Amino acid sequence: MRVPLLDLTEQYRALEGELSEALQRVLTSQQFILGPEVEGLEQEVARYCGARHGVGVSSGTDALLLSLQALGVGPGHEVVTPAFSFFATAEAILRVGARPVFADIEPGTFNLDPEKAARAVGPKTRALLPVHLFGQCAALGPLSELARAHGLFLIEDAAQATGAEGEGGRAGSVGDAGCLSFYPTKNLGGWGEGGMVLVREAPLAERLRRLRDHGAGEPYTHQEVGGNFRLDALQAAILRVKLRHLDDWIASRIERARRYGELLEEEGLAGREVRPPALSAGRHVFHLYVIRAQRRDALREPLAARGIQTGVYYPLPLHLQPCLASLSYFPGDFPESERASREVLALPLYAELPEEAQRCVVRAIRDFYHRG
């Protein structure tokens, strides 16, 4: 049995009619950039996430970049962020000319440890940029408190967590800005690149709208230097259809995550050779189902041989990335992030994943540890 990490073909088959209709609407209008589809998506996603304003942009990475720029984070500033994330989080900070100051993660949730974040705050710190990794919110209560106590902006990297719930609300709605990604593999994924910034304050939303369109407040009058970070109407039309089904898909992912936990438990693996993900309060939307596994790299081989695809997010923590050597971090600086990089393993998960496939995955893991 072949078990891919992610398979979107069934989702597409089920929605083909609705999606074709949405595409047709855009094709008939011949309006491809911004416009009513993007505005509709902005309102619907903002409402879904419990945010006041949504600004559609060209990707999750650009959502991060524009959030930092719109909040005035730049040269001379520091931004505290976890050492364990996708590279885009640190990249956005560097692209605005600020310096990422890494802090270690909590071993259970893989998310930024608020106490370690507090120790990383200094006189140059301007913002906290936690990541809701794998679909579970970081400790938003303590992090909001920390931001308030030091007068810092709180920017949420919610790229993996559309629809997740944490302390204070849904992912992306709690901080000064929340960044979503609509990359095709994300829980709410389009058919190309896309992202959104969620904000509370209307003037900030206005600035983001300006920045995504070359900093122009009115046509051909440029108040500041922005760029082309616009979302296109085809993506928006597709995403509006998919948003209507997101809660069902999330429920289905949660169900399958629970089943993995039970199966790993039944095989006597949980808490021994492998450690299923730890849940904090709220709603984990399981963008990825990530376990810790002993001898992780050796385990992947027999799984692959049986047609079971797995993923490693992420094999190298941010502070050890070659291009960040000038920040002068070294191995040993963030032991939990480094350990996570050695142990994490994403198992196949998507809303339509059959129970038999899950049993097949867990049997293969059992065979590796108990016979291998």
Ligand X SMILES: *Cc1c(COP(=O)(O)O)cnc(C)c1O
Interface residues with ligand X (CB under 6 A) are 59-61, 85-86, 88-89, 131, 157, 159-160, 181, 183, 195
Least distance in Å: CB of 110 to ligand X?
11
Cβ proximity to ligand X: between 263 and 318 the closer is 318
Cβ proximity to ligand X: between 136 and 358 the closer is 136
Tell me the H-state helices in 50-183.
60-70, 87-95, 114-120, 140-150
**CA 248 to CA 59: how far, in whole Å?**
24
Cβ proximity to ligand X: between 131 and 234 the closer is 131
For 187, other C-beta atoms within 10 Å of its C-beta total 24
3-state class (DSSP) for residue 254: helix
Residue number of the CB atom closest to ligand X: 60
Cβ proximity to ligand X: between 85 and 358 the closer is 85
Indicate left, alpha or beta for 287 from its phi (over 0: left) and psi (-120 to 50: alpha).
alpha
**Packing angle of the helix pair 202-211, 60-70 (nearest 10 deg):** 120
DSSP 80-98: EEESSS-HHHHHHHHHTT-
Cβ proximity to ligand X: between 98 and 131 the closer is 131
Least distance in Å: CB of 305 to ligand X?
28
Least distance in Å: CB of 158 to ligand X?
8
- ∠ CA 356-361-362, nearest 5°, is 100
> Residue 324 to residues 104, 122, 203, 312, 332: CA-CA distances in angstroms?
16, 20, 34, 21, 16
**CA 79 to CA 152: how far, in whole Å?**
9
Least distance in Å: CB of 37 to ligand X?
18
Least distance in Å: CB of 181 to ligand X?
3
Least distance in Å: CB of 138 to ligand X?
11
CB 310 within 8 A of CB 345: yes
What are φ and ψ of residue 178, in 5° steps?
Answer: -130, 135
Least distance in Å: CB of 270 to ligand X?
26
Single-letter amino acid, residue 76: G
Least distance in Å: CB of 130 to ligand X?
10
Cβ proximity to ligand X: between 55 and 131 the closer is 131
What are φ and ψ of residue 80, in 5° steps?
Answer: -85, 125
Cβ proximity to ligand X: between 54 and 60 the closer is 60
3-state class (DSSP) for residue 196: strand
Cβ proximity to ligand X: between 187 and 358 the closer is 187
